Structures are given as C-alpha cells and as structure tokens.
Chains A and B, each alone.
Chain A
C-alpha cells in the first residue's frame, strides 16, 4: 500500500478539486450501470448525487471508494490518479462511508462500533495489542479520546454502552455516521443517511451533517431522495439517470433544469 506517499490534505485549500471523476463507465456483463460520467467534488463542499431509482448512484459511490472497478475512466483523489483501488486503500487514503442499509456490528456496543472506525489508525503491533498493555494501552486511550469527542458531537452519550442491535433505526444511522467520522476522513460518502427517518430525526441528521462539514471541514458526498433535504444541505448537485449524468450545478439550477424535471416526473411519449 502507498499510504506513505499520500499527499497531505492540508495542502489542498477549500475550493480545490478533492476528487475528480472522468469519463467513468461501469458495466455488469451487459448491464450498463454507469456510462461516461464525469464530475468533481471540491474540498469543503457538500455534494449531492441524486437521481431516480436505478440511476447508478450507489454504484457511483462504490466506484469512488474502490468497491467496484470501472471498465473505463479515471478517478483522481487528492491529486493522485488511479483506475483500480481496493476499498482498504481508499479507506486508508481518507475516504469513509456509510451504507444504505445500516452495516454495523449489531452485537457490539456503540462505543466499540465507533472504535472499530479507528482500526486503520492503530499503529501498535499485534504483540502489544494482544496484551493490551504498554504502547497498545496508551494508544487505545488516545483513540478513545477521539471516539468520545465523536460521541459528544453526535450526542449519543446515553447509548455509549448499549449494543447497537437494540437501538432504534435513527440512532443506528447516527452511530454509523460516528464510525465513519472516527476515520477522520477527507471525503465522507453518505448513502441515503436519512432513509426511513421521521421528520425530527431528519432534522437532527441534517444538523449533524452541516456541523461535520463546518466544524471539521470534511468534504461530503451524499445520496438522498428527500429533495427538501438535498436542496437545503448541498452546495452542488449532480443528477444521474440510467447511468448518465443529465445535470450538474447548484440546487436552484438543477431544480429548474427541464431534463431533471422530465427524469423525475416522466415525459409524455
């Protein structure tokens, strides 16, 4: 792995291109999931990816974090261009994500789940980790401090020791966000962070997303179906339909784009 050569994110200023997707195409056999899509994500912005069902949004996220390998096209992250990358490498380079269906360790506590997000940051070797002594213990204390700050930030102190399987869905989503934050990512990918939530939970989650963005300066790319949320939160929106990009711009511009309206409402044939 090439963690050592990773460029320092702080050399990128707010507004510089953090991630560029160029002419990416992805197919599963004969099914074309993504066709020739290009867009960029600028450092410090909240970028929304929207589109009707099956438009290729989740596939796009999977391409960005290296879970799928596109047949064509290039992805440039922090100035480094690549075509293939494994999720592990993507994670160590600073891309974290949450999933459409919550993917937590159900039997583990909130604390342990978020702690799991620190795995890539652990430096002590297996030997010390096994004994949980000396350097390993010191390191764990440091990591725990970071995790506690996230718990404080997300206001989930009361469920610190609760197994996440017992938590209501809205809180599980919050814990998952916490785990992604624990990686201290440069780019945070959120796949439908508000699916299945009630209005109050959506408001809370929106607040947390904005606060992550302003407080930590984390760049965020999110997929979301609730248009109200997308329009309120995001700086720029890219719209996909049948694997193709049909619009890209500010929420106001996208909202009035005829192609977008047609894609969502359908066109008379």
Chain B
C-alpha cells in the first residue's frame, strides 16, 4: 500500500498532504524564535501552507508563474516554496547575499511575478532594482522590522497573507479550488529552478521536475535509511542544491524534521541544541571546527590536555577500524570505550554531533588526516559527488566503503560513463530538464545520447569501482606521449604529506612530469630538531640533503601510488626540486585564497623549469621578493634537482 501511495505522490505538495495525513502530529519544522524553539507539526505546516497558497492565489500567482524566494532558512520561506508548488507555480530560490546587480539578473531572467523575501534588507535591495524587473508585481516579506512606513501597495506581509488566506479558505469554493490546483500538478512539471552560482559567466537556471526530484530523494533516503525520526539543521543557502535536496526534498520524502537556526550567526549554538542526526558540511567547516578544538585544547590545563592527546591517539589507532567493523584487539576496544566516556562523547556533544548518524562532505578534496580525525571519533562521515544538474547525487560512499581519496561508487540508479577525453558524464534519476530560457547551453551540456557533461575529469578505480575526480576537465593536460596529466591530482597527493606545504606540477605537452615543492617549515623544522639537523634559515633547511632525501621518499611513494592507477601511471614525477623560498600571495605566486597561480610561477621560475627538463643537477635562480613591510629585495640561490624512481608499468602489481 505504501508503494501504491508513493506512486501517487508525484509532487511536493502531495507529499506534504500525505505527511499531514500519515504523521500529522510529528514535528515537521522548528525555528528558534525569541530564544525558544517553536515547533510546527506536519498537520500545522499543511494548514499554514494552504493558507499561504490561498494568499498567494489572491495576489494572482498562477500555474506556470515563477516566484523568487530570498532570505535565510526560515519556515515561512520554505512554506512559500510549498505554497507556490501547490498552485503549480515555480519557486526560484536566490542567494540572500547576492548583490543587487546579480539579483536583478536572476529575477528578470526567471521572469518572477512575486518575490517572497526575509526582511527589510532584501526589500530594499529589490526596490532598488524594480526598474529592471518587468514581471514583478508584489514583494512579500516575512519580518516586518523597519517596513511599517513603506508604501504597501506592492508590498505585503507574509503573516497577514496567511491570516487572509485562512479566512478565505473558510469558503468551500476557495478550498476546493486549491485542492483541485494541487491535484492538477503533475510529476513532470518543473518543480523548482535553481540558479547555479556563476563562476564563469552568467548563472544558469537549472529546471528540475517534481517526480525526478522525488525519485532521487527516495533513493537516497533508502540508501541512508532515513526516517521520520531523523533531524536536520537547515543552515545551507536556500538557493543551493544541497539545501533543496537534504532539507526540503528528503525531509518531505522521509517526513523528518528540519530546524531553522535563530540567525545565521547562531548556527554553531543551534547545532548543539538540536543535535542533528543527518548533517552536511563542506570540508572547510570541518577543518575550522578542528582548528577551534585544537586551539581550545592548547588553552586547557595540563592534565586535560595530556588526556585529550592520549585518547585522540587511541582513537587514531582503533577508531576507524571499529567504525568499519574490522578486528581490533580487546585492549584497544577497552581503551577506546574509556576514551569515549571521557573525551570523544563530550567533544561530540560540544560540536553538536552527539546524535549524528550520517554525515556528508563534498565540494572539494578533503585531507585524509582531517577525514579520519572525525571518523576516528565514531562519526559516520562520508563523501559524495554531485551536481545541481543531477539534483545532487552522482556518486556516494555506502557505509563500510569510506575513503578519503574517492567520492565513492555510483549512487542508486545513476549511470556514469567517462568520455574519451576523460570527462565524467552521467544520467541520474534527478537529472534536470534543461536550463531555463537557455536552449543553447542546455544542448551544449547534453551529449547526443542524453548524458550530462560535468566538466570534471575523473575515472573509476578498477578494484573498487569508486569514482575519483581528478580536476576540472579544462585544467587536465597531456604529456607529449599522450599520457594523461592532471596537475591538481598529483599536487594533492603530495600535499597530503604534512612536510609538503605546496607543490606545483608541470608536464603539459612535455615528455615527463616535474615538480616544484615547498616544504612546510613547522613540520620539517620539527623533524629537523628530532633528527639533529642544524639550519639557520628556511633557504638552508630547504637545501639540506637530508631534507631532499626525506622529500624524495614522499615523491617516490606518490609515484608508487600513481603507478597503481593505470590512467595515472604516466603522470609520475620524474624530477623535482625544493624551492628556496615559500610561495607567497604578496609575490603574486598564490591567489589570496592560497591557490597556486601555475602560469605566473612557470614564467617567474623559467630557468628552474628549463633545468628540470635539460638534465642538469643544479640551477641558479634569483627572484625579487616582497617583505612583510612592503620593501622589495632579491633572493638568489643555487637549487638542487633530484631524480626520482619511476615505477614501470610492469611493476605495478609488485608495488601494490
């Protein structure tokens, strides 16, 4: 019977109605207001959404119209999405921090008739661009502070709209019309348009259909065994596919409760109070959390600090194995159990992770150390790879197959193939209908046989079937002999060693891969102290033969690991050198976000690159540097070049 019903509920409003019927008194949404968590049950949400839909209908919102949703995660904004979908209109969530100009583009391109916004800030922003918005009729706001004296002919309060709608619904004809409009909704209708943040050019409106969204969400709910007793904290931007997926779609499918933070600044406190069971964050959030914990531990008393480091050591040794269900000696289990009582459990409580059953991270490569730190505490943190065009999931790691260096095997019902150029192409249950009013780019993105191009280069690891994402497809080069050369992939492998701070790989159109390396002065300095290596400056340490030996072993390890991957075997590092100075944003070698500027470095250190390729064992370099106080000077040095072991393809099995 469940299955038969699931077939019938092919739109989100129908799912809402089902939830109100099946689990009407279970919590659906929470919001911390005036310091107290307010809860609405599914039945209450359904009633409010119906009232709001009646309100929007009275303002003239109809099937096929678009409505912009602008603001932070607040219940009434989510209800606005549901209400719009109930009327057959299409919500278009917009990034709340978009500047007026970006917002003008999206609102006009999406032809929005209504804008449901959070507060005065957003109202002001939209009012400043109304002359460019030809379709906009009304602005509806959630929070009225400061808006009392505004002209209210085109401005409406959402709360009042709900009240008016509630009154209107007492009339049976209005109520029936609303039900009819909901029933008229089909799964193949566009359910939402998500604008992708345009790093290159204008943003594109990704149209997603209701049934595809629901199919994708149903698959992942089953995959992670989510149910109506799960809890999430909805803190991701409304306009981002992650929020629409994890909170909105999965929430309606599984019937679980989403909590809206009090304000964007209180997310950390709210996380702790709610204790979500399902959690998503990009790697940098996990990184900053860890840094904060470590800094606070350094300030703690000596006893506490010692205890913390001891048990974190225990966790490192046994934690992940216990989580993966591998065999662990009894003493290890006992120590881990003790550590859980005195360190891990309180720590997880402070971070708000006490009840976390499933956690995901995605978006960029996560360092294996960082990843295993959280996993060793017993947190089931996993990786996924996805795209707005896929309605998120393309690949995902199932429990028990968790690794830091892959994004996992295919998600349920997803088809992936790798193009001859190495680009990842996919078909997924949630895949988009096309870009809104942009057929040209829709055709560009689709292959003739209906696959979507991701723009990412990747490959499947043969043994495990996991997908590995290498780099953006346009950054991937080829060696002179045709072998693949993915610079970032090689560099990331190197950078995961604490001794290596930065690496820059060269090889596009050349006959072999070579590499510049920056040592990490803290880690290598520490190593030098333990190994009685005496040095006076960064330059001297970087040039030390023992340091070269140590880095060479790392590079050889990377080569061995590259050799195990048939596609990457050609990208092994033939020669490397350690730079005499740290790459620095002040010198233009890094971007302000600490990404290497490959082209600039290649130009600046051209003599060193020549030396890497002409077989010489040393090279002289002199570069201008900018000191912290802005003065300029030159550093010249003689840099040694080291040859590395290339693991031949035939030795692959031995190395493995």
For the complex, is B148 an interface residue (Cβ under 8 Å from A)? yes
Label chain B's interface by main secondary structure.
loop
Tell me whether B146 and A207 are in contact (CB under 8 A): yes
User: Nearest 5 A-B pairs (CB), nearest first?
Assistant: A158-B265, A148-B34, A211-B146, A148-B35, A158-B266
Contact A215/B35 with A158-B266, A158-B269 known, Cβ cut-off 8 Å: no
Residues of A near B291 (CB, < 8 A) are none
With both chains docked as a complex, state the minimum distance between the C-beta of A118 and any C-beta of chain B, in angstroms. 15
A145-B35 Cα distance, complex, nearest whole Å: 9
Q: Is residue A226 within 8 Å, beta carbon to beta carbon, of the partner chain?
A: no
Whether a CB of chain B sits under 8 angstroms from the CB of A210 is yes
Measured between alpha carbons, how far is A157 from B266 in the docked complex, in Å? 7
Complex partner residue of A211 from B32, B34, B145, B266, CB under 8 angstroms: B145
For the complex, what is the distance from the CA of A210 to the CA of B148, rounded to whole Å? 11
User: Closest CB-CB distance, A89 to chain B, in whole Å?
Assistant: 32
Interchain CA distance A153-B120 in the complex, whole Å: 12
* In the complex, B401 has a CB within 8 A of chain A: no
Indicate whether B263 reaches chain A with its CB closer than 8 angstroms: yes
- Give Cα A207–Cα B147 distance, bound, in whole angstroms: 12
A160 touches B35 (CB 8 A): yes
Q: Is A257 an interface residue (CB 8 A)?
A: no
Beta-carbon contact of B146 and A155 below 8 Å: no
Return chain A residues, CB-CB under 8 Å to B263: 155, 157-158
Residues in B whose Cβ lies below 8 Å from that of A83:
none
Interface residues on A, range: 10 to 19
Which residues of A pack against B, CB within 8 Å?
Answer: 144-145, 148-149, 151-153, 155, 157-158, 160, 207, 210-211, 214-215
Cβ contacts under 8 Å, A214 to chain B: 146, 148-149
Q: Is B262 an interface residue (CB 8 A)?
A: yes
Chain B, 263-279, CB within 8 A of any chain A CB: 263, 265-266, 269
Contact residues in B for A149 (Cβ distance below 8 Å): 34
A contact residues around B266 at 8 Å (CB): 157-158
CA distance A238 to B420 in the complex (A): 78
In the bound assembly, the distance between CA atoms of A207 and B123 in angstroms comes to 14
Provided the pairs A148-B35, A149-B34 are in contact, do residues A157 and B262 lie with their beta carbons within 8 angstroms? yes
Q: A158-B263, A158-B265, A158-B269 are in contact. Are A153 and B35 (CB under 8 A)?
A: no
B146 touches A210 (CB 8 A): yes
Bound Cα distance A211, B148 (Å): 9
Residues of chain B within 8 A of A153, CB atoms compared: 145
Q: How far is the CA of A130 from the CA of B35 in the complex (A)?
A: 25
Determine if B145 and A151 form an interchain contact, defined as CB atoms under 8 angstroms apart.
Answer: no
Give B148's nearest chain A residue, CB to CB.
A214
When C-beta atoms are compared, the residue in chain A nearest to B143 turns out to be: A152
- List, in ascending order, chain B residues with CB within 8 A of A157's CB: 32, 35, 262-263, 265-266
Chain A CB count within 10 A is highest, among B35, B36, B148, B149, for: B35
Q: In whole angstroms, how far apart are the Cα atoms of A76 and B180 in the complex?
A: 65
A152 to B35, CA, bound (A): 9
A152 to B34: give the CA distance in the assembly, Å.
Answer: 6
CA distance A211 to B36 in the complex (A): 24
Q: Are B145 and A215 in contact (CB under 8 A)?
A: yes
CB distance from A260 to the nearest CB of B (A): 29
Chain A residue contacts of B262, Cβ below 8 A = 157-158
> Would you give the shortest CB distance from B495 to chain A, in whole angstroms?
34
Further pairs besides A210-B146, A214-B149: 6, Cβ < 8 Å: A152-B34, A157-B32, A157-B262, A157-B265, A158-B265, A215-B146
- Inter-chain CA distance A211–B144, complex, in Å, is 10
- CB-CB under 8 A from A155, the residues of chain B are 263
